[in-house]
């Protein structure tokens, strides 16, 4: 079959040809090729470690978002118990947004976990291939004339090179994905932190830009439902809410 198409093949080809730059003396090429492979395996290991680090960062962001959801829920209750329904609505809208983001983030972290497993399995495979190359190069050196060796070397080296280049691309792709997720989660975090929630009065009137954006992003129906539920809960258990009410007044 003549050649390969597609961007991925082109990238992989380019990487392989870099690996095979030195091709004068077959024996030297073989040793150099092997040495290069071992070096690159270290990069692969480092790349996978980076993916793991990125995943941990995302998990931390997810924990933060969880805390925000709890905090916003508390604030909505407090606002409602003070009769400030508008504020409660704003807090609930933010909570809904945080929850939505949290869900998608958790899903993506899980996906990343699977990818990480796959990358590790492929690293193992690559390690075996490199080991295979080491054995093969001694056989080639011993058994073949220079011209024949040349052919066999490029075949074997291309095989390993392709494996390596492909794994490199997979790592790069996983890294890019985590970057996108991280940027998204940070954007939501910023959006929510733009009005600090430490003090209810700082929630604002619900009419600034951030709230307008939030309003567009969240489902009105879901917020209405939650608000109604919260009202019902507050109405039925007045006694237990007294301390929270007091605290709320201080803050307001």
Shortest separation between residue 205's beta carbon and another protein, angstroms: 40
Shortest separation between residue 59's beta carbon and another protein, angstroms: 21
Cα–Cα dist 35/20, whole Å: 12
Distance of CA 162 to the CA centre of its chain: 26
Shortest separation between residue 58's beta carbon and another protein, angstroms: 18
Q: Are residues 95 and 192 in contact, defined by beta-carbon separation less than 8 angstroms? A: no
The smaller minimum CB distance to another protein, of residues 135 and 236, is found at 135
Asked if 118 touches another protein (CB under 8 A), the answer is: yes
Touching another protein, residues 134-153 (CB under 8 A): 136
Among 35, 103, 132, 207, binds another protein (CB under 8 A): 132
Q: How many residues touch another protein (CB under 8 A)?
A: 31
Q: Are residues 46 and 40 in contact, defined by beta-carbon separation less than 8 angstroms? A: no
Cα–Cα dist 153/26, whole Å: 7
Residue 2 in tokens:
């003549």
H or E element that contains 227: helix 220-236
Query: Would residue 67 be called left, alpha or beta, if left means φ above 0 and alpha means ψ between -120 and 50 degrees?
Result: alpha
- Using alpha carbons only, give the angle 244, 208, 185 rounded to the nearest 5 degrees: 75
Binding mask 152-191 for another protein (x = CB under 8 A): ---xxxxxx-x---xx-xx--x------------------
The smaller minimum CB distance to another protein, of residues 2 and 239, is found at 2
Q: Are residues 161 and 15 in contact, defined by beta-carbon separation less than 8 angstroms? A: yes
Asked if 78 touches another protein (CB under 8 A), the answer is: no
Among 129, 203, 223, 248, binds another protein (CB under 8 A): 129
Residue ranges binding another protein (CB under 8 A): 1-9, 12, 16, 118, 122, 125, 128-129, 132-133, 136, 155-160, 162, 166-167, 169-170, 173
């Amino acid at each position: 079959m003549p050649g390969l198409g597609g961007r991925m093949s082109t990238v992989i080809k380019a990487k392989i040809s870099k690996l095979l730059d030195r091709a004068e003396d077959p024996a030297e090429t073989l040793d150099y090729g092997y040495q290069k492979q071992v070096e690159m395996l270290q990069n692969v290991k480092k790349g996978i470690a980076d993916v793991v680090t990125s995943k941990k960062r995302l998990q931390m962001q997810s924990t933060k978002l969880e805390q925000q959801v709890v905090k916003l829920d508390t604030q909505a209750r407090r606002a409602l118990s003070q009769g400030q329904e508008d504020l409660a609505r704003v807090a609930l809208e933010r909570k809904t947004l945080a929850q939505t983001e949290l869900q998608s983030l958790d899903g993506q972290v899980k996906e990343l976990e699977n990818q990480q497993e796959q990358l590790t399995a492929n690293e193992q495979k690559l390690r075996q291939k490199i080991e295979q190359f080491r054995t093969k190069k001694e056989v080639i050196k011993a058994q073949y004339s220079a011209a024949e060796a040349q052919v066999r070397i490029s075949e074997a080296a291309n095989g390993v090179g392709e494996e390596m280049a492909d794994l490199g691309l997979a790592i790069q792709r996983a890294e890019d994905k985590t970057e996108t997720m991280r940027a998204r989660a940070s954007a939501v975090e910023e959006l929510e932190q733009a009005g600090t929630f430490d003090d209810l009065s700082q929630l604002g009137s619900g009419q600034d830009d951030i709230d307008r954006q939030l309003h567009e992003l969240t489902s009105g129906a879901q917020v209405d439902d939650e608000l109604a539920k919260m009202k019902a809960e507050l109405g039925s258990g007045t006694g237990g809410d007294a301390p929270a009410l007091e605290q709320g007044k201080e803050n307001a």
